[in-house]
Structure 1
């Protein structure tokens, strides 16, 4: 998914579909960094997984702790090296993302109400990562903002689902604000995602009947997310938000064809 975000960010920055060796390297770098982030997350979360998810590679002993950490470090390093061959902007984003992923896993993993923002931010960063190849950020940034808000809503919804399992282990937004207030924050994030998706059309960067049709459909699906949240159906709301985001991304991709 990270590599696809880089591709879409690159295409949005160019306003057309195009492949180049730079975007291939950047997509590969994003893939490595994302893999490193997932591995280092498992490394720092191993004690929690030992209680709740004993069959995972680290708690079960199938993979040693040193091996996992060295593998994550190697992926981060490879991602940085690959990005260095693209340009300095892509390299600095790659290094920054790697440091954030490491900090999130080492420090913020217990504080999920902060980690939600980091995860959503790093997800949206893939679009800017692709746009950094050309240096044109506006349209990719708008789609990145849409992805950030959609992912933020989904992360909060997941925390509401996981609140019982997290109790005594992690500190999430539902524990700080309560379930209803957290659901309201997630709903606002989804509504703001709708608002941000309008901006590129409003300023004349994208147009077309197909684009508007798909975007209107995504609005309806995002609205369904909000309704499901308010009804307390958090799991379904989270699934629906993925569908809404996929339709919105398809709309922007259609505008480039």
Structure 2
């Protein structure tokens, strides 16, 4: 059985971090979300704006925590945490739109709790999945792009034995492991760097888990990893 391993190189940078993981097994996805899930996503947009209390977007604490983190490792120019992009869209004329039930559910959680949430298809992993500082050169194809964009030396990324799964911590997912309508087993991850917000992490995990059970008939298991418990079986 493969594992998810948070490498010591991550804990050296962020020793107090918590990594929330939710495994969904044998779930039933579909190309379109039911009306209730679409409404769940739409209702999350004004709640997201409640986390943006500063007039200057970049000065909000939920943005600053990840921007400061991104200064601790090598990144592509302009790379930002996924939560920053999502929160920015919540205030724009290009709101977050429905994609499919699972993505809508975890985007709703991300917006409500101002935390980055990512998801991958477990069945596409080759060997163990690791969150680690890489030596670089890991194969990576952005969603919808057929040009290899390998990782940089010193970059923090999720990777397996075939290549990178998510670049620059939680910036961009790759096409090889992305969630599709055919996905049956999913790995969801939430990276918490502000330990004062541990209750929000737990609530976000519970939110996704409950709605995945209600709307996807998923068999679920929930974990919170830390420096003392850095891995789990997938």
**TM-score, length basis structure 1:** 0.32
Task: Choose between structure 1 and 2 for higher RCO, CA contacts under 8 A separated by at least 6 residues.
Answer: 2
More strand by share: 2
Rg larger in structure: 1
